[in-house]
Amino acid sequence: MKTYLDCIPCFFKQALESARMAGAGKKTQKRILNEVAAILPEFSLTSSPPEIGRDIYRLAREITKKDDPYLKIKDKSNKLALGIYNKLKKKVEHSHDRLLTAVELAIAGNIIDYGVKNSLDVSAELAKILNEENKVIKEENKEIFDYVRFKSALKIAKTILYLADNAGETVFDRVLIEEIKRIDKDKRIIYAVKEKPVINDALIKDAYVCGIDKLAEVVSSGSDAPGTILSLCSKEFLSMYRKADMVISKGQGNFEALSDARREIFFLFMAKCPVIAQDVGCRVGDVILFSHRGKREKHN
Amino acid sequence: MKTYLDCIPCFFKQALESARMAGAGKKTQKRILNEVAAILPEFSLTSSPPEIGRDIYRLAREITKKDDPYLKIKDKSNKLALGIYNKLKKKVEHSHDRLLTAVELAIAGNIIDYGVKNSLDVSAELAKILNEENKVIKEENKEIFDYVRFKSALKIAKTILYLADNAGETVFDRVLIEEIKRIDKDKRIIYAVKEKPVINDALIKDAYVCGIDKLAEVVSSGSDAPGTILSLCSKEFLSMYRKADMVISKGQGNFEALSDARREIFFLFMAKCPVIAQDVGCRVGDVILFSHRGKREKHN
């Protein structure tokens, strides 16, 4: 997805948030905003938002000299999500369609705000995300929630590349991967995280803490962009990306980076902002599960 | 009110909206954002948001060469608001406290989004704004809705300076001014609009179209800032400002510009953004009626 002009105010917002997360004082925060402003004329709107986002987060890291400003929040998110893991499993076990419920949970895990929450709040927020209204949306609009195509692709895939998004969400990914393995324990699953810290994106450590390593091969994409930008990924990762029978991509950042990819990719995320919603053709807050290829075919 | 760092992303949003409203193409829109970025390091955070906003809107006007990009929306807003004038009057007539209802309407008129609406939608939106939940908030928190102090000040004031905000809203102001005149027809009311176009702020023409001139002296503040910045106002206006027994200030922009004023001012607005909400100590969407002096006294 290309960067829209509406993303520009949001880049400043992200830079400010990142500066604050790094504990920068007001002067440093302003300096970071000035530096973002200085590179704004160079932003190419044909780049995807995570490409520009990467420059912005780097700049904030360099100026604040904090390599991983979101470390605490990531650790907290993992802990809180692990705290409701048993609840998530019960939800799956008691559902009519275990896989569908696991998919819904994996998407819901993407938008929980772990900021100032305890596991009770996280459970409550989860219930809100998975409310009946969303279910109606999914049933009404198969174009943005194409579970049938997802299930068919999953059935025949032997190797699945799973692109992670945030820490904490990793626990929800584990629940989905467990369901996939339950269907066929011989499926090979590769779980790809970011190479270096960027926002609250999961790193190898987060995947291990959340127990993903017991189910999947945990690898790094080789990049520190807040989305899987292929041109920045390692050769090893690209080889896995090409060879995988199926790619499952989590989160908005990965969608932004890969929405024009040549191979089929299944995107699982919640539309968090009006720009994405417009690009996808959905509403803010919609639960998304589609492959861009499947979506195009339905259109033609 | 000083400018917060959180206002900076919003300045870019405003510049973009203004460029689009002027019909600028994408290249020009980007150019305007680049120019805002270029002056960002000079922004003084001790300035109030309308001071910086003024520079931004000027810049957008100069680059797009459109002197009044919001002209159409202003005309439409006046028309739509005039279309429900009779309804507003009936609402006042059938209420237990006519003045209170008129005050509520005057505040509600500030946040109606006339963008793509017809009078029916405007009526519906109005009903939503004036719902019971807001009433509860007001009754609970006298600090941000000090109707008692407002009424006392109004009772003894002979000359009232009324600072206008947006076109369309002007009709709601008329309803309030009519109530004030109904209490005492000899009160002198001066209705001050902006000197030159800025966003959708009311100009002299809008006040006339909405019939304010039959009730009040319509004057200009002498400034084109999106808020009444005293240092930019005309001598004539400043003299009225100093001599008035009571100043009623409408909208967020006027609050931002005058929240530290030395004289007592009654601010009527809805808190539209988290920055204002934090500054005031209220929630986004809260209906505000207070004088900063009254608020300070309650605190001490």
pLDDT of residue A300: 58
Same domain, B48 and B161: no
- CATH number of the domain residue B102 falls in: 3.40.50.10880
Q: What letters, b where the CB count within 10 A reaches 16 and e where it falls short, cover B269-280? A: bbbeeebbbebb
Mean pLDDT of B175-202: 96
Residue owning tokens 């510009």? B257
Same domain, A81 and A18: no
Query: How many separate domains does chain B show?
Result: 2
DSSP B242-269: HH-SEEEEEHHHHHHHHTT-SS--EEEE
Same domain, A178 and A265: yes
Would you tell me which residues 13-52 of chain B have a C-beta closer than 8 angstroms to some C-beta of chain A? 13, 16, 26, 29-30, 33-34, 36-38, 40-41, 45
The CA-based angle B16-B9-A51, given to 5 degrees, is 85
pLDDT of residue A272: 87
pLDDT of residue B35: 97
Reply yes or no on whether the pLDDT at A131 is more than 80.
no
Of residues B5, B13, B37, nearest to A41 (C-beta): B37
- A1 lies in a domain? no
- This complex has an ipTM of 0.88
Q: What is the gyration radius of the CA atoms in chain A, in angstroms?
A: 18
The model's pTM is 0.90
Residue at A20: amino acid letter: R
pLDDT band at residue A116 using 50, 70 and 90 as cut-offs: low
Lowest mean pLDDT among A88-92, A188-192, B119-123, B204-208: B119-123
Residue A8 in contact with partner chain B when CB distance is under 8 A = yes
Of residues B10, B16, B34, nearest to A40 (C-beta): B34
CB contact under 8 A, B40 and A26: no
Reply yes or no on whether the pLDDT at A25 is more than 70.
yes
Which residues of chain A neighbour B45 with C-beta distances below 8 Å? Answer: 26, 30
pLDDT of residue A61: 94
For residue B11, give the chain A residue with the closest CA.
A9
B77 contacts: CB under 8 Å, gap ≥ 6: B112, B114, B166, B167, B168, B169, B200
Same domain, B142 and B57: no
Which residues of chain B neighbour A7 with C-beta distances below 8 Å? Answer: none
Reply yes or no on whether the pLDDT at B276 is more than 70.
yes
Q: Which of B25, B41, B64 is the last residue of a domain?
A: B64
Reply yes or no on whether the pLDDT at B171 is more than 70.
yes
Going by C-alpha positions, the residue among A236, A263, A235 that lies closest to residue A249 is A263
Interface test with B, best of A40, A47, A56 (most B CBs within 10 A): A40
Mean pLDDT of B224-230: 95
pLDDT band at residue A227 using 50, 70 and 90 as cut-offs: very high
Lowest mean pLDDT among A116-130, A163-177, A241-255, B218-232: A116-130
Mean pLDDT of B216-229: 96
Q: Cβ distance A193 to A207 under 8 Å?
A: yes
Q: What letters, b where the CB count within 10 A reaches 16 and e where it falls short, cover B17-33? A: bbbbbbebeeebbbbbb
pLDDT of residue B118: 76
Q: Which of A46, A64, A82 is the last residue of a domain?
A: A64
pLDDT of residue B299: 64
CB contact under 8 A, A16 and B10: no
CB contact under 8 A, B9 and A9: yes
Reply yes or no on whether the pLDDT at A64 is more than 60.
yes
Reply yes or no on whether the pLDDT at A296 is more than 90.
no
Q: Which of A23, A44, A64 is the last residue of a domain?
A: A64
Same domain, A35 and A129: no
Q: How far is A241 from chain B (nearest CA, A)?
A: 35
Mean pLDDT of B284-293: 87
What percent of chain A is modeled with pLDDT above 90? 80
Of residues B12, B34, B45, nearest to A41 (C-beta): B34
Same domain, A57 and A119: no
DSSP A197-215: --TTB--HHHHHHTTGGGT
Give the C-alpha distances (Å, rounded to integers) separating B118 from A133, B84, B290: 28, 10, 32
Q: If you average pLDDT over every residue of chain A, what do you get?
A: 91
Interface test with A, best of B8, B27, B28, B273 (most A CBs within 10 A): B8
CB contact under 8 A, A12 and B16: no
pLDDT band at residue A121 using 50, 70 and 90 as cut-offs: confident
- A160 lies in a domain? yes
Q: Cβ distance B38 to B11 under 8 Å?
A: no
pLDDT of residue B285: 82
pLDDT band at residue A128 using 50, 70 and 90 as cut-offs: confident
Same domain, A13 and A146: no
Same domain, B32 and B96: no
pLDDT of residue B121: 78
- B234 lies in a domain? yes
Mean pLDDT of A18-39: 96
CB contact under 8 A, B16 and A34: no
Of residues B5, B30, B37, nearest to A29 (C-beta): B5
Same domain, A247 and A102: yes
Which residues of chain B neighbour A16 with C-beta distances below 8 Å? Answer: 5-6, 8-9
DSSP H helical ranges for chain A? 7-21, 26-39, 49-64, 71-83, 85-93, 98-108, 119-129, 132-140, 147-156, 169-183, 204-209, 235-243, 251-258, 274-280, 292-299
- B1 lies in a domain? no
3-state secondary structure of A58: helix
Which residues of chain B neighbour A6 with C-beta distances below 8 Å? Answer: 13, 16
Same domain, A78 and A21: no
Of residues B12, B26, B29, nearest to A12 (C-beta): B12
pLDDT band at residue B111 using 50, 70 and 90 as cut-offs: confident
pLDDT of residue A175: 98
pLDDT of residue B129: 72
Residue A231 in contact with partner chain B when CB distance is under 8 A = no
pLDDT band at residue A133 using 50, 70 and 90 as cut-offs: low
CB contact under 8 A, B45 and A30: yes
pLDDT of residue B165: 96
Reply yes or no on whether the pLDDT at A136 is more than 60.
no
- B2 lies in a domain? no
Q: If you average pLDDT over every residue of chain B, what do you get?
A: 91
Same domain, A138 and A245: yes
B255/B2 Cα distance (integer angstroms):
11
Positive or negative, the Cα torsion across B229, B233, B239, B243?
A: negative
pLDDT of residue A193: 98
User: Residue B49: in which H helix or E strand, if any?
Assistant: helix B49-64
pLDDT of residue A126: 78
Give the C-alpha distances (Å, rounded to integers) separating A252 from A50, A257, A262: 10, 9, 18
Same domain, B136 and B186: yes
- A259 lies in a domain? yes
Structural domain boundaries, residue B32:
7-64
Please give the sequence-ordered ranges of beta strands (E in DSSP) within chain B, or none if there are none.
Answer: 159-163, 188-193, 217-220, 246-250, 266-270, 287-291
Q: Higher pLDDT residue, A279 or A296?
A: A279
pLDDT (tens digit, 9 = 90+) per residue, A164-215? 999 999 999 999 999 999 999 999 999 999 999 999 999 999 999 999 999 9
pLDDT (tens digit, 9 = 90+) per residue, B133-152? 555 556 567 789 999 999 99
